[in-house]
Structure 1
Amino acid sequence: MRLMIVTLFVTLVLQGCQDEPLNTTIYMPENGSSLVLRSELDAELEGLIQRYGLTGDPLRGKNLPSIDAPLAQLGLKLFFNKALSGDKDVACVTCHHPLLGGGDNLSLSIGVGAENPDVLGHKRLLKDSLTLGVPRNAPTTFNSGLWQQFMFHDGRVAQVAGGITTPDVPYPQPDAQAGHNLVHAQARFPVTSSHEMRGNLFDRGGTTQTCRDRLAERLREEPNWLSLFRAAFAQADAAAETVMTEQNIAFALGEYERSQVFVNHAWKQYVQGDLTALSSSAKHGALLFFRERSEGGYACAACHRGDFFTDEQFRNVLMPPIGPGKGGVDNLSQQDYGRWLVTQDPADKFRFRTPSLLNVAVTGPWGHNGAYTTLEGVVKHMLNPFQAALSYDSAQLQQTHIPHMHLQENLREMLASNTDMAGQAYREEDVGYLVDFLQTLTDPCVTRSECMSRWLPSKDSDEQNPLTLQLDARFEP
């Protein structure tokens, strides 16, 4: 659309922002449609967008599968099926439901040992009060195919020289069995975790590999799966032992996860030229997000870089140490040392992967352990981690079983370690601006069940849904 451009000096009152005279450019469309005002906010944001080389589109140069692809469709069925759990009581979707932001809406996930295995969300409870559950928050599966370097909060699956390293081999040695890509490698591990899917009895005393092989063997005994694998892998006459392998199971699961691409948010529209895509308050929040501290901002983009809003590096941001910690029941201090558990480098203690902020409004609770249950709360923490950690109120947690008896003691140990966030004083109104901006990073599809239905199993007929162990989630109010 061709535009005539006229520059006027006007006084605009921006909702939620300071009242100030702005040098405003008015774009006058030749077709007679509504005028578009380009304010000084837009002009400064344009400069920041150019400074950081943003395009709004993190998919550039990447080739990710469609949910309609045969392998992604097989992965969908596997993702929702309890046959891959040791006690046949949980599925991958238990902790990563598309209608729950690709997570589970819990601070700390509950895999095996739930009071009601098919209940998901806030009403999912542990059957035994002595059980601690999963020691970390479930990362969203949304846009998982965009990660280039690391998977999991501690990066224990990582792209390294010569391939991909995993917990099955000494770090940083590449694992010959890791698979085709990072998501394929990641998909091989939840089924081996006693807290997440395996349970305490299945393949007891075995290795991660024997666990996977036994699950694949058991799946081959279930009806209807062989024809699905043959069709998805285009091997019409393949024997079950050939096509229904643990590698093919994980690859299909990974293709389903990689198909969950949700990047069509308002910020993308704004970066690509639609100045009306953001409210003035969200634009003000964007300025605070991208400006350096010396420019009156909070330098959020120093870590949340690029169109994927992460540099994929590890930092100690003093996230309050709630939960049992990664050591589980044997970790008496209930401490989680993060990246150190992978590298054994003392400098990596308490460091966790910088999360992407795409769809952040729907992927809470926030933090590697879900310590914050509101977006406003985690924003305040990131603006001044030291003060927020010292004044942390565990009453906000929605799960009463989460232990935090050593919170202050563990926090002192964290403070004695190297922290990566200096923090600064901030204005309360700036929190609202930043939250408004973060809201613009959510793809509207993830908030609409009809849009997300493509990533849910069909219930139309027995032919489309022949699998007896499918998890039909219940979301109780």
Structure 2
Amino acid sequence: MLRVFLFLFALPVAAMEFPAPVTDADYRATDPEVVALGRLLFWDPILSGNRNISCGTCHHPAFGTGDGLSLGLGEGGLGLGPERVMDPENPPEQRIPRNAPGLWNLGAHEFDTLFHDGRIEALADGLRTPMGDEMEAGFATLLSAQTMFPVLSADEMAGHYSENEISRAVRQGIITGPDGAWDRLAGRVRDIPAYAEMFEDAMPGRDITFTAISDAIAQFVEAEWRSDTSPFDAWLRGEGDLNQTALEGIELFYGSAGCAACHSGPFQTDHGFHAMGQPQLGPGKAARFETHARDDGRFRVTGDAADRFAFRTPSLRNVTETGPWGHAGAYANLRSFLRDHAAPRAALADAPRDAVLSDGPFEDWRIMDDPAETAAIAAAIRGTDRVLAEEEVTALMAFLETLRDPDAFDRSGIPATVPSGLNLDRD
């Protein structure tokens, strides 16, 4: 639903459409006991193959629920955020191919497609994932199903081939069943009395399976990072004022700059896929047997040539805190990102190389060093370039600042300990 407001700027009166204020009805309900259990599981490294990485390693509130890196290091990394470095004793095989997305408002009903390429989706009759029917059953929500991917990824949480029982099972393709990676992870949790007691209290009568674990984590994420009390939300509800520069930014965003054509709705996303000419870096999205460093985006899901280099429109909630920006994190500066995002063809010719990357023996700029590859990215862009004046960039930045919700960053905090007794990632 949209509401129409009239505001008097230092410009002529503008009649504009804005999203309706967010309400409780926009979200799924959560259970406080399940949320408390999910909080411990989210921060507990027990769900990684080598017991050294938690969900919070790559999705940390200190970095806007991302990891502060353009492309992160999962297994084979040491440390947290931009300070994370390669483990000299067990170096990573490659960087994680895409920027860690934020976790804001994923409990809202409208988030029915996840990942930069939308490869998992909630349908009327169930879930669609690239993992097949056997891997789609039992999850309460799409967000819960999302957790299956990091724990099965050698680069993210499972560990390198053959170095632990989880990575060995993954390599052999044994995911479900008594010897599968999921049951082995669930077994670790079942063997800890404190977790067994918490599950019985929060989910009485339910077996401690991987899907039960993931359902609890999902409810925690939904409750912890709900974000709808920003200054912009207060303004929409008629409960607060915004400064003149932010109002000018709103006029641009929802008006002449056309940002809301894609960044629409209450969370500033149409959940669609658009080729916006973002610079590419890192290993790309490829199977192990492929040697290219390209990321074809949505095309890898649909096989439709029209989807090549198209990526999902991200929500802009707390966007000032979620950098680096872009599906590969090519921009370390949001102001520069805005300027180039409006005129992507021109920007590709002189793309920045200020990405935030841990040192490593990786060929990060193979695509941008190849004129044919950059030309293909540029050719996929739809729409026209719009050169923003500096005062327009300033106004848009002021609006984006109003989407920052300070009350949403640290509701429950990082637990002092987790039942496994393993070390936690702290800022």
Cα contact 1:165–1:178 (8 A) shared by 2: no
Q: Which residue of 2 aligns with 1:337?
A: 296
Give the 3 Å change call, closer, same or farther, for CA 124–195 of structure 1 in structure 2: same
* 1:183 alignment partner in structure 2: 143
Output the CA distance in 2 between the equivalents of 1:344 and 1:368.
Answer: 19
Q: Distance in 2 between matches of 1:321 and 1:178?
A: 36
Structure 2 Cα separation of the partners of residues 468 and 275 of structure 1: 45
* Residue ranges of structure 2 left out of the alignment (5+ in a row): 1-5
> Does 1:198 find its partner at 2:167?
no
Q: Are 1:108 and 2:71 counterparts?
A: yes
Q: 1:96 is matched with which residue?
A: 59
Residue 107 of structure 2 aligns to a residue whose secondary structure is helix
How many positions carry a matched residue from both structures? 404
Shift of 1:164: 1.1
Tell me the SS of whatever aligns to 1:454: coil
CA displacement 1:346-380 (0-9 Å, x = unmatched) = 22111110000011111111111111111112111
Contact 2:121–2:142, Cα closer than 8 Å, also in 1:
yes
1:110-149 → structure 2 map (5 Å cutoff): 110-114=73-77, 116=78, 119-127=79-87, 131-146=93-108, 147-149=110-112
**Secondary structure of the residue that 1:407 maps to in structure 2?**
coil
CA pair 405-174 structure 1, distance change in 2 beyond 3 A? same
Q: SS of 1:145's equivalent? A: coil
Distance 1:60 1:275 in 2: 22
TM-score by length of 1: 0.79
- Give the residue type in structure 2 aligned to 1:207: I
Partners of 2:347 and 2:138 in 1: how far apart?
39
Question: Aligned pair 1:229/2:191, yes or no?
Answer: no
- 1:94 match: secondary structure: helix
Superposed CA RMSD in Å reads 2.4
- Equivalent residue for 1:389? 348
Q: How much identity, in percent, do the aligned residues show? A: 32
SS of the aligned residue for 1:311 comes to coil
1:42-441 to 2 correspondence within 5 Å? 44=13, 47-48=15-16, 51-52=17-18, 54-57=19-22, 59-65=24-30, 69-114=32-77, 116=78, 119-127=79-87, 131-146=93-108, 147-169=110-132, 176-177=136-137, 179-200=139-160, 201=162, 202=167, 203=169, 204-209=171-176, 210-235=180-205, 243-259=207-223, 260-274=225-239, 276=241, 278-291=242-255, 297-327=256-286, 330-401=289-360, 403-409=364-370, 410-416=373-379, 418-441=380-403
In the other structure, the counterpart of 2:3 is: none
Distance of aligned partners of 1:42 and 1:441 in 2 relative to their CA distance in 1, 3 Å threshold? farther
Query: Compared with structure 1, are the counterparts of its residues 58 and 311 closer, same or farther at alpha carbon in structure 2 (3 Å cutoff)?
Result: farther
Residue type of the alignment partner of 2:37: L
Using the TM superposition, give the Cα deviation of residue 473 of structure 1 relative to its aligned residue in structure 2, in angstroms. 1.9
Q: Distance in 1 between matches of 2:328 and 2:315?
A: 16
Q: Is the 8 A contact 1:85 1:198 kept in 2?
A: yes
Distance 1:453 1:264, change over 3 A: closer
- TM-aligned CA deviation for residue 299 of structure 1: 0.3
Relative distance call for 1:39 and 1:360 in structure 2 (3 A) is: same
Once residues 359 and 273 of structure 1 are traced to their aligned partners in structure 2, the CA distance between those partners, rounded to angstroms, is: 20
SS in 1 for 2:143: helix
> Offset at 1:413?
2.2
> Which residue number in structure 2 is paired with residue 473 of structure 1?
425
- Pair 331,348 (structure 1): closer, same or farther in 2 beyond 3 Å: same
User: Secondary structure at the residue paired with 1:144?
Assistant: coil
From the superposition, tell whether residues 92 and 61 of structure 1 become closer, same or farther in structure 2 (CA, over 3 Å).
closer
| Residue in structure 1 matched with residue 9 of structure 2 by the alignment | 40
CA distance in 1, matches of 2:23, 2:257: 23
TM-score by length of 2: 0.88
The match for 1:457 is: 415
Separation (CA, whole Å) in 2 of partners of 1:306 and 1:316: 20
- Conservation of the 8 A alpha-carbon contact between 2:330 and 2:352: no
Against the structure 1 CA distance between its residues 421 and 91, is the aligned structure 2 distance closer, same or farther, given a 3 Å change threshold? farther
1:55 shift after superposition: 1.8
Larger radius of gyration: 1
Counterpart of 1:356, as a letter, is S
Secondary structure at 1:159 match in 2: strand
Task: Provide the C-alpha distance between the structure 1 equivalents of 2:175 and 2:402, rounded to a whole number of angstroms.
Answer: 41
Quick one: which amino acid aligns to residue 231 of structure 1?
A: D
Q: Which has the higher contact order (CA 8 A, sep 6+)?
A: 2
Q: 1:467, CA displacement in angstroms?
A: 2.9
Tell me the SS of whatever aligns to 1:74.
Answer: helix
Distance in 2, Cα, partners of 1:75 & 1:331: 37
